[in-house]
């Protein structure tokens, strides 16, 4: 994927977060080398589009970068009532991937909420953002996100993704790892 | 005093009231029970002997998470879905049981102090879970 000097240790914890339905479980499944661990259960208060299950614990998968480096991928529950899990999962995390569903009413507000929630645990310099379903909802655009987030951190990469495509998720991870490399130069 | 969480529509309210009665009975008849709560598998409160809403909501969410994590652990080591798990500390015991039913079923979480006798506690918790499952199936019928 990328050349990794000594910026990363042998096993590096990456947290995927974002609102329910943004594709965290799908993303981790898309790039994991082996069978993922999932804690999805049926949704008791009705389906969200075609989504009938929701993560209540965490997702776990592993993505091997090269002979010496493996990313350990942890997906958080999206719903606010499981916020206690966010704090648990963020402990010791090296980087953060925030996935956003652009068809939701306030996706930029969603992004701001998740960035703020994880800021105490994971530095913003090790955060990337993936915006999904832009084919269904082109607005807000990537430029809109950049303008609104400029006051928080203009350097957070924001990328359009389809988390069903492994190459898109790998791109997010590559950018995240590249950020670390730049910081170590 | 028992707390039932308002749920619409009316049959669900009736179910929550039935659950509240079963939880009250468990607390009344079983030594050491401090609180008993029912939550959906995805962490929404159904009924509880607790009275503070924030506490009920948080306990329901944690119950859903830890039940799913216990299942994941059990499946990971090849033991399938667990029926229950027990957390013991110097202050008491927490028992969590799965209540079978639609949409992933529910989770019964019972907190005790040190006066609880584990065998009796598990027996009574099982009876409560069966009662809740029976009420749920009647609601679904």
**CB contact set of A44 (below 8 Å; sequence gap of 6+):** B40, B41, B42, B44, B103, B104
Which whole number is the average pLDDT over A134-153? 90
Q: Which residue of A has its CA nearest to B66?
A: A57
The ipTM value here is 0.81
Which whole number is the average pLDDT over B50-68? 95
Nearest CA to A87 out of A114, A124, A117, A129 is that of A117
List of chain B residues whose C-beta atoms are within 8 Å of the C-beta of residue A85: 65
C-alpha B11: how far from chain center: 19
Please report the domains of chain B, with CATH numbers, ordered by start residue: 3-140 (3.30.450.30)
C-alpha B95: how far from chain center: 8
Q: How far is B14 from chain A (nearest CA, A)?
A: 17
Mutate to test the interface with A, among B6, B40, B68, B109 (most CBs of A within 10 A): B68
Q: How far is A6 from chain B (nearest CA, A)?
A: 33
pLDDT in tens, B106-140: 999 999 999 999 999 999 999 999 999 999 988 77
Confidence band of A152 (pLDDT split at 50, 70, 90):
confident
Q: What is the pTM of this model?
A: 0.87
Contact A40, A62 (CB under 8 A): no
Please report the domains of chain A, with CATH numbers, ordered by start residue: 11-184 (3.40.50.300)
Judge whether residue B97 has pLDDT over 50. Answer: yes
β pairing state of A53-55 and A40-42: antiparallel
């Amino acid at each position: 994927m990328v050349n990794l000097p000594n910026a990363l240790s042998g096993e590096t914890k990456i947290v995927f977060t974002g609102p329910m339905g943004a594709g965290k479980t799908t993303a981790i499944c898309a790039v994991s080398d082996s069978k993922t661990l999932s804690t999805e259960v049926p949704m008791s208060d009705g389906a969200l589009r075609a989504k009938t299950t929701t993560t209540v614990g965490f997702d776990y998968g592993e993505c091997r970068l090269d002979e010496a480096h493996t990313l350990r991928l942890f997906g958080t529950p999206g719903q606010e009532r499981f916020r206690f899990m966010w704090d648990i999962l963020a402990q010791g995390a090296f980087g953060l991937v925030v996935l956003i569903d652009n068809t939701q009413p306030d996706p930029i507000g969603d992004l701001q909420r998740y960035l703020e929630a994880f800021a105490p645990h994971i530095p913003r310099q090790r955060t990337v953002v993936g915006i999904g379903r832009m084919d269904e909802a082109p607005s807000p655009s990537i430029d809109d996100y950049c303008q609104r987030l400029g006051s928080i951190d203009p350097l957070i990469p924001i990328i359009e993704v389809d988390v069903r495509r492994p190459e898109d998720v790998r791109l997010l991870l590559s950018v995240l790892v590249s950020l670390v490399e730049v910081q170590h130069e | 005093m028992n707390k039932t969480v308002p749920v619409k529509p009316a049959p669900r309210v009736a179910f929550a009231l039935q659950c509240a009665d079963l939880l009250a009975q468990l607390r009344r008849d079983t030594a050491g029970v401090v609180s008993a709560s029912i939550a959906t598998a995805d962490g929404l409160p159904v009924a509880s002997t607790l009275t503070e809403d924030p506490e009920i909501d948080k306990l329901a969410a944690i119950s859903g998470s830890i039940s799913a994590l216990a299942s994941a652990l059990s499946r990971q080591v090849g033991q399938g879905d667990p029926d229950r798990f027990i957390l013991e500390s110097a202050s008491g015991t927490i028992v969590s049981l799965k209540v079978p039913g639609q949409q992933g079923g529910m989770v019964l979480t019972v907190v005790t102090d040190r006066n609880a006798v584990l065998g009796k506690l598990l027996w009574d918790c099982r009876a409560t879970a069966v009662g809740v499952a029976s009420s749920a199936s009647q609601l679904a019928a």
